[in-house]
Structure 1
């Protein structure tokens, strides 16, 4: 989810391009390639950004939040989406969170009926603008945004909301059609999709929505303006109405934009096969890693399992090409436990895996709401703020201690009753375009070594020496 492995073929193609030609026409070719990839009607255009976070920031800073309007989002959202709430609060708009997983679930995403209820209760009054942000696929809970019989996007738009889709985690493994999911704006990072290049993302946006954002943007830069009065206050933004250039700050990355076209062509070739392959890999990984038990010094099998999977598991076993899983992606978030059922330190897990050539992500994955949902600590997280002890500038350690204090006072505990309250994080195993059976086999071999007392003691010592 953090970044896909890049194929050698992309590097070879781009190196050949750099040694043979250079033209700004490739920027327009890249725009058209993005629009084709996302099946975007003619009413859309593309603004190139540094990444998906940069695209989200563009929307947040330019959106015309005001008193009476709302910013509605799910708790299971990336921090780059959460950050838009500060623009909303600056404009005196309400910030409304839809609970992750619904009232009876800790799976992440949101319950469709609860989401519709929140949207209806906070629908924008006439003359105001409200924004609804969706996460296509959670980067920690593995839950996809539910569509249901009635698209939540269409429902929100009919109530008067503008709609924003964070597709950064969804786009690398799923086909997205803007003809079928007619959001006002979609954001992606290309390195997450096919590994190369870094430093380029995109805001795929309705031209009418772009016109509205232009009028609200409080800043300009080189490349985004045609006229600037100095000294003075007059300036004229570049482009008329629907042109994307007035949102592309400074010189666009024209040397790397051609790699976008090549990368999308490559991903388009493999995308029909990915859901089936990744579904098989994830089913096997979860089934096997969930059954690994601790081995004692004498080789006997202990009672405790080494791994507890917390994220949403695929309910459907795909059987043929063309099938897709509408509920889950291709990641698993879990915790690794010792013989007593206590989680190992996250840094130990990451270090021991790295020694075997395995890259894992640990922590809350920039998604604190999704992590809280998996760990069952949403109430404690909320109570920290209500108790008046939460403050800007708190360190992670201080925040974890406050959550632990609230849990002790309220008698609540995380999803794993034996896990310490102070550990607010999980381990994420991500599968993608470059993953195959050998990768899953290596993860399982590492987990089995972790379950062996003698092997783990050696891993532990190496971790202590490293620290």
Structure 2
């Protein structure tokens, strides 16, 4: 299938929360104490001190409320509300309109059903301090799987660092080059610390997670007796590795996806067992696991990595969708290599990813070429090449993105502070969103408005630090009152009219899309010269899903507005008006 584009806490981290995201003071005065926080940036960055107001630890003392003491009860409730984080509507930059009044009422009902949501109030403070542009613009952003939003303080910190310092190309020994090299070393150390990597791991900086996956694919020593095992519900960047394997005569083995995406553990183990290499050294084989699907919302069991390793496979984890909202430890799951993109994790910078890799595995990879920065000596003319002494340098083609690497260190510190709270918040929002969307029916026929296709969480989180069994993605299709699928392009158009940024298409994950859409047989029957347009004509409708994905800055109001948008689609009058506008916008096109 093609793809249609629409418009964990480590005590050893040197956290810089105060500098990056100081929460604003609440509207009512409460007992406070002063605390001080310091930030050290890259090696030569100036350290400086700022002050942060922190609520008194005694602010949340328990109150005893008795029915017969109504005056005292009312007073206690007022006092309790003064300590609770105020809803975001109190801080709206614009006047409170009818929508916001309705949202405030819905928010109170939501908190009664999900009181644990208030344990994540620090993320409300973050929304106000670092993502206030969302509220100023009125945009509802629900495409975090496509790319996280950058926190404004991270940009200020990084801009300030660039303003104060001079950075040069790392391939030199000047002062500016030494500073760049020091920042790169610090960024590598921050990545290893964030993923709890034990000794023996290193970091290769790439352009993105795709670049990291390609690096493994093109360099892995596949042979005619080798195998490459992967799940059908994987990103195209994982599927693409099969091209390198096939060119070297290796065999490809797929683990079928379930109807709701992901793999079934017993089936995965059976495929791995049947295709295990007879000799690990003479038949190097690779198992690529998708940590979390970007379309089906499935989290695959990381225990499969240990099993695959026991069967003689080298292991690769695509963590691009997993890392932004889940805690992952290389000490607990010692995979040979993981691929990540930093913009997926904290929004900035784009153009930088990493392969976090065991050094002994990296030493087995064979680059198909060499480039500037990867070599020590090159005979020209001639055939002699001596590769760089540092392993990671052999795989970083040309000059690394040295101007942006300091932002990686600060971004990981930033995310480390908030990541423990994120699964709980997203669990509340996901359960509310899924329940609300599933309850919607057309006002004319009573038919469902949406069909949810992605995997839904099986349990509700109750405490900070718990991890969800799924991601925070909802893939669905909207339905006409007759039950037929509405065109995704219409939903995309209607959502943009409501200032909602979502995604439609197959998300560069053809196997996952085929599974949740029930198109596995059609996928298997595709001709070799197929195009997406031809495939859609054959099926008689657009292919793909509407994807709503939540992330670091998501709050109740985002989910509320998505639900209100879906309610618009359920109502005949507003829907038909939008349909007419959409058709008018496509004048001259085939619909």
TM-score, normalised on structure 1? 0.90
Counterpart CA distance in 1 for 2:491 and 2:183 is: 44
The question of 1:453 aligning with 2:589 is answered: no
Shift of 1:466: 2.8
Of 9, 25, 30 in structure 1, the residue corresponding to residue 153 of structure 2 is 9
Kindly report which structure 2 residues correspond to 1:22-421, keeping only aligned pairs within 5 A, or say none: 22=167, 23-24=179-180, 25-101=182-258, 106-126=259-279, 127-147=282-302, 151-213=303-365, 216-240=366-390, 243-296=391-444, 302-325=445-468, 327-384=469-526, 390-392=527-529, 394-402=530-538, 404=539
The farther-off stretch of 447-456 and 31-40 is 447-456
How many residues in Structure 1 have an aligned counterpart in Structure 2?
Answer: 427
Aligned to 1:409: none
Q: CA deviation at 1:401?
A: 4.0
- Paired position in structure 1 for 2:3: none
Q: Residues 69 and 125 of structure 1 are in contact (CA less than 8 Å); yes or no, is this contact kept in structure 2?
A: no
Give the match for residue 542 of structure 2.
Answer: 423
Unpaired runs of 5+ residues, structure 1, are 297-301, 385-389, 405-419
Counterpart Cα distance in 1 of 2:551 and 2:198: 28
The 8 Å contact of residues 141 and 374 in structure 1, kept in 2 or not, is answered as: yes
Compare 40-49 and 355-364 and name the one that shifted more: 355-364
Cα distance between partner residues in 1 of 2:580 and 2:148? 31
CA shift, 1:343, in A, is 1.0
Q: CA deviation at 1:400?
A: 3.3
Q: Tell me the distance in 1 between the aligned counterparts of 2:582 and 2:408.
A: 39
1:330 CA displacement: 0.4
Q: 1:125–1:37: structure 2 CA closer, same or farther, 3 Å change rule?
A: same
Query: Aligned partners of 1:401, 1:89: CA distance in 2, in Å?
Result: 31
Judge conservation of contact 1:111–1:146 (CA < 8 Å) in 2. Answer: no
Show the counterpart of 1:410. Answer: none
In 1, Cα distance between the equivalents of 2:497 and 2:156? 30
CA distance in 2, matches of 1:258, 1:158: 38
Q: What is the deviation of 1:464?
A: 2.4
Q: Answer yes or no: is the 8 Å Cα contact 1:4–1:433 preserved in 2.
A: yes
C-alpha distance in structure 2 between counterparts of 1:132 and 1:78, whole Å? 14
1:95-124 Cα offsets, whole Å, 9 max, x none, are: 1100112xxxx1111111111111111111
Asked whether the 8 Å contact 1:372–1:378 carries over to 2, the reply is: yes
Q: How many angstroms does 1:434 deviate by?
A: 1.1
In the alignment, which residue of structure 1 is the partner of 2:92? none
Contact 1:72 1:131 in 2 (8 A): yes
Instruction: Spell out structure 1 runs of 4+ moving beyond 3 A.
Output: none
CA contact (8 A) 1:66 1:129 kept: yes
2:320, 2:239 → 1: CA distance? 14
**1:372 touches 1:424 (CA, 8 Å); kept in 2?**
no
Partner of 1:437: 556
Q: Distance in 1 between matches of 2:216 and 2:485?
A: 39
The alignment partner of 2:164 has SS state of: coil
The structure whose Rg is larger is 2
1:69 & 1:400 partners in 2: Cα distance? 36
Kept in 2, the 8 Å contact 1:100–1:370? The answer is: yes
Larger CA deviation: 7-16 vs 164-173: 7-16
**How far is 1:8 from its partner?**
0.6
> For 1:115 and 1:401, how far apart are their aligned partners in 2?
34
RMSD over aligned CA atoms reads 1.2
User: How far, CA to CA, are the matches of 2:160 and 2:310 in structure 1?
Assistant: 49
Q: CA deviation at 1:42?
A: 1.1
For the residue of structure 2 that corresponds to 1:324, the secondary structure is coil
CA displacement at 1:323 relative to structure 2: 1.3
- Aligned partners of 2:217, 2:295: CA distance in 1, in Å? 23
Shift of 1:228: 1.5
In the alignment, the residues of structure 2 paired with residue 459 and residue 30 of structure 1 have an alpha-carbon distance, to the nearest angstrom, of 48
**Aligned equivalents of 2:580, 2:525: Cα separation in 1:** 38
Displacement after TM superposition at 1:187 (Å): 0.4
Aligned equivalents of 2:568, 2:263: Cα separation in 1? 37
1:239 positional shift: 2.0
Cα deviation for residue 232 of structure 1 reads: 1.8
Q: Is the 8 A contact 1:164 1:186 kept in 2?
A: yes
Does the CA contact (< 8 Å) of 1:293 and 1:451 recur in 2?
A: yes
Secondary structure of 1:272 counterpart: helix
Helix, strand or coil at the partner of 2:408:
helix
**TM, length-normalised to structure 2:** 0.71
Question: 1:456, 1:226 → 2: CA distance?
Answer: 65
Structure 1 CA distance, aligned partners of 2:375 and 2:320? Answer: 29
